[in-house]
Structure 1
Amino acid sequence: MSTPRLLCWSFATVVTISSLSSCALAPLETVGWASPKAKAGSPLQAGVRYEVRKALAAGVPFRPQEMKRYYFVMEAPRPPLMAATQVSGRRMTVRTTAYCHDEDDHIVYGVKNALGTPLKFGSVRSAAADWSRYPVGTRFRIAGQPDVVYEVDDYGSALVGTGTIDLYKPTQGQMNDWGVRHVDIEVIQWGSYQRSMDIMRDRTKWPHVRRMVEDIETKVYQVTAQSLRGPMTASL
């Protein structure tokens, strides 16, 4: 085990990790107390084990058995969420369905997508999908429709956990005509997980949104229960 470094604290009763960046650092011997000169303003380093102790006032005898010790290890900064890592131009066969803005489960949203902007149906058309598989902004073409580009700008609870893509149609007649089809698509551009997370971060009270957020975190960060904890706090 690596030797922990020492943080001396004299003016606060509660120490949070976010407030330690300006503390003095000094190495701590494995046995007893070492008193080298502290380096004021030294930045905390990721992966280093630190010990937090309350500093003694002048003239107070040092009694090691009465000292409360707290340890923490700084985590390395997480990498930024990136666009999906798949290569553009990838061809695949996917299951597709269709939806319309005046369906019972969409009528409350009207002609708006999950971004709050109008659903598109022209040379660029809206599509809904699981954003942990097809992040927002993903663009693709369907074989046999060379002049039409579909863009993922919507999602739906029934799509989460599936590879199905739901294509927007402006009328129920067009929706019913499409039905369910397995089609070949070519991805022109993959979307952004970062943008997907930014949009969904305040919507996690909905189970299907929460699942997409968790699936993105798992895919990009391979997070563990330990890394999901909030800032550590040490009481002195």
Structure 2
Amino acid sequence: MPDLQLRTPRIILVSLFVIGALFLGACGTTKTRALPQYEPPLAKTDFQNVRTTAYTHTEADHREFTNHNALGGELHAASPAIHRAENIVRALAVSDSEDADLRRVSNSGVALQPFSVDETRPVVRVTRATRVTKTTRRVKRAIAVAKPPRIGSAAADWSRWPVGTTFRLLSTGQIYRVEDYGWALSGRNTIDLYMANSRDMNTWGARQEPIQILQWGDPQQSLQFLQSHQDYKHIKRMVLELQGREQDAAALR
């Protein structure tokens, strides 16, 4: 019995040591986490072809931030996609029994008769007197007010798309604004689009998308915000690139 009492504190100390070692190991892994491979930035033009991905607030690496972006505001999904009706060219078949210059274009299917200025036909004119009585009625008109599209939240490298950059996806017509950033986006030409749920996120997947920049964000505002968070390597890389030190940003691992 005394031996058991002496062994119990030792077991507790060994257990605490093991737990502490695992905790420190986990912290070390976080500090040594490698940044994604650096890509040279795209040219800043009004139209770009960009790799896009999707994310949502229920992902494991975003749960601690709930549904809020890097600025502290709430994440928003964009309005539904706009499907445009395309003009369809209708080809009219030419019958073998018809002349080359005569085509069947009437809905009834009856061939049009050749036109001749020499042909004369009797014309009968009928004149009628019609009395028209005007009545005044009040008509209530419903005025439709179009709602502005809901701008979705997007995450990106703020040195390439500064915070506040607003753009349109040309394939869907949806509008997004850069309000967030992420570890996997640092030094990459990728824009992450926020989706309301996992189903929409998985449906989008990863796509190469043409976008139109509607408004560029402010690089100085982005730099001012990020400078106070340089303890994280992915933010440090964005700061270096915003300062014009692209080689240092590329060398950061």
Q: TM-score, normalised by structure 2?
A: 0.51
Q: Which residue of 2 aligns with 1:103?
A: 59
- Aligned mates of 1:219, 1:202 — CA distance in 2: 18
May I ask how many residue pairs the two structures share in their alignment? Answer: 135
Per-residue deviation, 1:219: 6.0
Q: Which residue of 1 aligns with 2:165?
A: 138
Per-residue deviation, 1:209: 0.4
Per-residue deviation, 1:129: 0.4
User: What do residues 16-43 of structure 1 show as CA deviations (whole Å, max 9, x unaligned)?
Assistant: xxxxxxxxxxxxxxxxxxxxxxxxxxxx
On the 8 A contact 2:171/2:209 being kept in 1, the answer is: no
User: What do residues 181-200 of structure 1 show as CA deviations (whole Å, max 9, x unaligned)?
Assistant: 01110001110111111211
1:136 is aligned with what amino acid? V
Alignment of 1:181 onto 2:137: no
Higher RCO (C-alpha 8 Å, min separation 6): 2
Per-residue deviation, 1:86: 4.1
- Aligned mates of 1:219, 1:124 — CA distance in 2: 32
Q: Which residue of 2 aligns with 1:162?
A: 188
Percent identity, please. 43
SS at match of 1:201: helix
Alignment of 1:192-211 (within 5 A): 192-211=218-237
- Aligned mates of 1:171, 1:165 — CA distance in 2: 18
- Aligned mates of 1:202, 1:143 — CA distance in 2: 35
Per-residue deviation, 1:91: 1.1
- Aligned mates of 1:182, 1:212 — CA distance in 2: 23
Per-residue deviation, 1:144: 2.6
User: What do residues 86-111 of structure 1 show as CA deviations (whole Å, max 9, x unaligned)?
Assistant: 45xx1111100000101000111000
- Aligned mates of 2:207, 2:151 — CA distance in 1: 20
* Greater per-residue helix proportion: 2
User: What do residues 104-132 of structure 1 show as CA deviations (whole Å, max 9, x unaligned)?
Assistant: 00111000001010011242000000011
Moved over 6 A (4+): none
Q: TM-score, normalised by structure 1?
A: 0.54
SS at match of 1:218: coil
Alignment of 1:1-236 (within 5 A): 86=44, 90-122=46-78, 123-146=150-173, 148-218=174-244
C-alpha change, 1:86 and 1:94, in structure 2 (3 Å) is closer
Where structure 1 has 5 or more consecutive residues not aligned to the other structure, the ranges are 1-84, 224-236
On the 8 A contact 1:91/1:186 being kept in 2, the answer is: yes
